[in-house]
Amino acid sequence: MHTAATPVDTAALLGPVLPAGEPELRAIAVNALFGAFGREGTSEALGNDTDAALIRELRGWADVILVGAGTVEAEDYGPADTPMAVLSTSLDLDPGLGIFHGARLIVLTPEQSLTDDSLAANRTALEAAGAELVSSFGGTIREAVEALRREGYARILCEGGPGVYADVFAADLVDVLHLTIDPSLSPADAPSGLELDGPADGVARFAFEDVTVEHNAMMFCRLRRVADVGTRVPRYG
């Protein structure tokens, strides 16, 4: 761990990356002191300018942003220069959201949602607003990630929310986690922790690769998944 003066070098926080074209999935999250993902319903009150700059750095690295529809709406996402893939089963997304004015917008949805007659109006509204509907087949997070790989996206940045984080970690899909710790707490903090599905003895282990404390005000952690014995060691450059 080291203490850094402001501003922190966000390229250093990004750390080593795989060569372009090699699959890698990173997740970024900010937590309050005891693990809450939000305060008064959003993460807006957590983090600081450096945290926001790190998100921009990661978006510049990524080929596509993966995020849940609930997070897009709760956080009032604006347009992004990086293509965005939004997970939605209901296809009930407001075409007035800023995400419709950025780069390519994909709505990842189960195959059933693409054929359900009751969702026809939603499909029409999204396509009219410029979204591309892409099947995630059965709708699992693994199938959604596989769909993005087929679309040509190797570098995936997962921005949550908590339910999506739980899914990608439970499916053991996260290669690198960027976790910002905001050392504050409030009665309005919630939710805290992840509810992972799977066997009770299943453990995914990560190793701290870098910890940077900015003026004792914010902690930036980069953790890398510990590979199982026999797993190919990735080549970073």
Give CA angle at 132 (177, 150), nearest 5°: 55
Judged by DSSP in three states, 3 sits in strand
Q: What is the pTM of this model?
A: 0.93
What domain range includes position 64? 20-225
Beta-bridge mates of residue 29: 179
Q: H or E stretch including 31?
A: strand 24-31
Note whether residue 1 is domain-resident: no
Note whether residue 7 is domain-resident: no
Number of domains the chain contains: 1
Contact 182, 218 (CB under 8 A): yes
Beta-bridge mates of residue 233: none
Note whether residue 144 is domain-resident: yes
Distance (Å, rounded) from C-alpha 136 to C-alpha 159?
A: 18
Residue-wise pLDDT tens for the chain (237 aa)?
A: 777 666 789 999 999 999 999 999 999 999 999 999 999 999 999 999 999 999 999 999 999 999 999 999 999 999 999 999 999 999 999 999 999 999 999 999 999 999 999 999 999 999 999 999 999 999 999 999 999 999 999 999 999 999 999 999 999 999 999 999 999 999 999 999 898 887 777 788 999 999 999 987 899 999 999 975 444 444 433
Note whether residue 14 is domain-resident: no
The angle, 0 to 180 degrees and rounded to 10, between the axes of the packed helices 141-150 and 162-170 is: 80
Note whether residue 149 is domain-resident: yes
Note whether residue 237 is domain-resident: no
Pairing, β 132-135 against β 105-109: parallel
Note whether residue 12 is domain-resident: no
Please provide residue 62's backbone torsions phi and psi, each rounded to the nearest 5 degrees: -75, 150
Return the CATH number at 108. 3.40.430.10
Note whether residue 140 is domain-resident: yes
